[in-house]
């Protein structure tokens, strides 16, 4: 009987030790879960809060993406529609511009965000599905002199060479952020030509209109839409006298048909500084400014760039 009691007491002590051991393991596991295991996502990583403006991002637009709850400094890498995405920190959130090409088929596309965890330095990836919506662009029918529509071979070659020269400018952008605050219209005046409009010239559909036309009298001052660096000053057959500004991290604005330019390539410019004057050079039926925007190689409606960057400025204030 005594031996049985001794065995029972020893067995109870062993069970108690095992129970304490298991409880200790569970306690340590819960502590690690609270901090986050290296290489795994914590709750904050798995369920970040994000917004998109406009809520229905359409082709040809640039949207403002904002995300909070990411324990990181600005990510080193992001991608959307095969293009890089640049993030900026402010007011406890990360923001980025998401440009959508006009030819993008409407559906959902992954936005990937790569970053290093601010506490333990492990690399993490967040993938968010962003829906791209269709948009019905207007149709503009114009009647022009035939020489402004049909070109001989030598002129076609010049036009192609000039297009390649302009496109090459967008491949070389400043790695630094040069713009500050919201973009602004470079000249006061009515919008007389919309971005993305299908242009039918002399009864035949031609390429899309990849900018906005702003009415202005000959010689009206044109101002920088934001601060940056002058990437190109040139005279082109279709675009006329043109200035392209590099605002850094893939953002460019384009100013065409100028009667006079007031800047030089490589020059640093501030928002509101004089770029040139309204004119009708190149293929133009009258004085106006053709104003365009390119973000990471994607041409977008510059009016949507104004809206997105103005919202960023408001978030930071």
CATH number at residue 281: 2.70.70.10
- Beta bridge partner(s), residue 63: 98
Note whether 206 and 276 are same-domain residues: yes
Note whether 175 and 294 are same-domain residues: yes
Note whether 50 and 26 are same-domain residues: no
Q: DSSP readout, 129-146?
A: EEEEEP----EEEE---G
Q: In this predicted model, what pLDDT tens digit does every residue of 14-53 receive, in sequence order?
A: 455 455 544 544 444 444 333 333 322 333 445 678 999 9
Note whether 160 and 64 are same-domain residues: no
What CA–CA distance (Å, rounded) separates 76 from 86?
8
Q: In this predicted model, what pLDDT tens digit does every residue of 152-166 receive, in sequence order?
A: 999 999 999 999 999
Query: What's the confidence (pLDDT) of residue 48?
Result: 79
Asked whether 210 and 299 are in contact (CB, 8 A), the reply is: yes
Note whether 156 and 248 are same-domain residues: yes
**Helix or strand (DSSP H, E) at 193:** strand 191-193
Let me know if 87 is exposed, middle or buried by CB neighbors in 10 A (0-12, 13-18, 19+): buried
Listed residues 109, 133, 157: the one ending a domain: 133
- Beta bridge partner(s), residue 97: 64
Domains in the chain, number? 3
CATH assignment of the domain containing 96: 2.60.40.1930
**Tokens for 5?**
């009691």
Note whether 306 and 249 are same-domain residues: yes
What CA–CA distance (Å, rounded) separates 57 from 97?
11
Cis peptide, bond prior to residue 167, ω within 30 of zero: no
Query: What's the confidence (pLDDT) of residue 151?
Result: 86
Query: What's the confidence (pLDDT) of residue 44?
Result: 41
Asked whether 284 and 278 are in contact (CB, 8 A), the reply is: no
What CA–CA distance (Å, rounded) separates 34 from 43?
9
Note whether 30 and 58 are same-domain residues: no
Note whether 21 and 96 are same-domain residues: no
Query: What's the confidence (pLDDT) of residue 15?
Result: 55
Note whether 200 and 170 are same-domain residues: yes
Asked whether 97 and 64 are in contact (CB, 8 A), the reply is: yes
Note whether 60 and 187 are same-domain residues: no
Note whether 156 and 289 are same-domain residues: yes
**Tokens for 98?**
């998401």
**Tokens for 254?**
């384009």
Listed residues 133, 163, 186: the one ending a domain: 133
Taking 50 as the pLDDT cut, the residues of the chain under it are 1-14, 17, 21-22, 24-45
Query: What's the confidence (pLDDT) of residue 23?
Result: 55
Q: In this predicted model, what pLDDT tens digit does every residue of 72-93 receive, in sequence order?
A: 666 667 999 999 999 888 777 8
Q: What backbone phi and psi angles, to 5 degrees, belong to 55? A: -60, -35
- Beta bridge partner(s), residue 131: 108
- Beta bridge partner(s), residue 124: 115
Q: Write out the residue range of the structural domain in which residue 110 sits.
A: 43-133
- Give the N- to C-terminal CA distance of the chain in Å, as an integer: 82
What percent of the chain clears pLDDT 90, i.e. is strictly above it?
62
**Model-level pTM greater than 0.85?**
no
Note whether 247 and 287 are same-domain residues: yes
**Tokens for 96?**
């980025």
**Tokens for 178?**
């040069």
Listed residues 133, 150, 176: the one ending a domain: 133
């Amino acid at each position: 009987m005594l031996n049985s009691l001794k065995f029972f007491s020893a067995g109870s002590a062993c069970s108690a030790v095992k129970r304490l051991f298991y409880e200790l393991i569970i306690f340590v596991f819960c502590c690690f879960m609270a901090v986050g295991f290296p290489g795994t996502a914590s709750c904050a990583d798995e369920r970040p809060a994000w917004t998109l403006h406009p809520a229905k991002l359409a082709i040809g637009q640039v949207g403002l993406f904002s995300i909070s709850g990411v324990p990181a400094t600005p990510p080193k890498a992001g991608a959307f529609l095969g293009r890089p995405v640049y993030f900026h920190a402010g007011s406890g959130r990360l923001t980025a511009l998401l440009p959508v090409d006009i030819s993008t088929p409407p559906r959902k596309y992954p936005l990937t965000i790569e970053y290093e965890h601010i506490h333990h330095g492990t690399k993490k990836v967040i993938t968010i599905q962003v829906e791209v919506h269709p948009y019905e662009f207007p149709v503009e029918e114009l009647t022009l002199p035939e020489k402004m529509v049909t070109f001989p071979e030598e002129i076609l070659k010049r036009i192609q060479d000039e297009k390649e020269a302009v496109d090459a400018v967008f491949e070389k952008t400043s790695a630094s952020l040069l713009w500050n605050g919201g973009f602004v219209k470079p000249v006061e005046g009515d919008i007389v030509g919309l971005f993305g409009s299908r242009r039918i010239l002399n009864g035949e559909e031609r390429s899309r209109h990849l900018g906005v036309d702003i009415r202005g009298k000959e010689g009206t001052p044109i101002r920088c839409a934001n601060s940056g660096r002058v990437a190109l000053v040139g005279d082109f057959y279709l675009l006329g006298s043109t200035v392209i500004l590099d605002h850094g991290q893939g953002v460019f604005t384009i100013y065409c048909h100028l009667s006079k330019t007031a800047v030089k390539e490589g020059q640093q410019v501030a928002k509101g500084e004089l770029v040139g004057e309204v004119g009708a050079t190149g293929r133009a039926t009258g004085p106006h400014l053709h104003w365009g925007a390119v973000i990471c190689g994607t041409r977008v409606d510059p009016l949507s760039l104004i809206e997105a960057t103005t919202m960023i400025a408001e978030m930071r204030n």
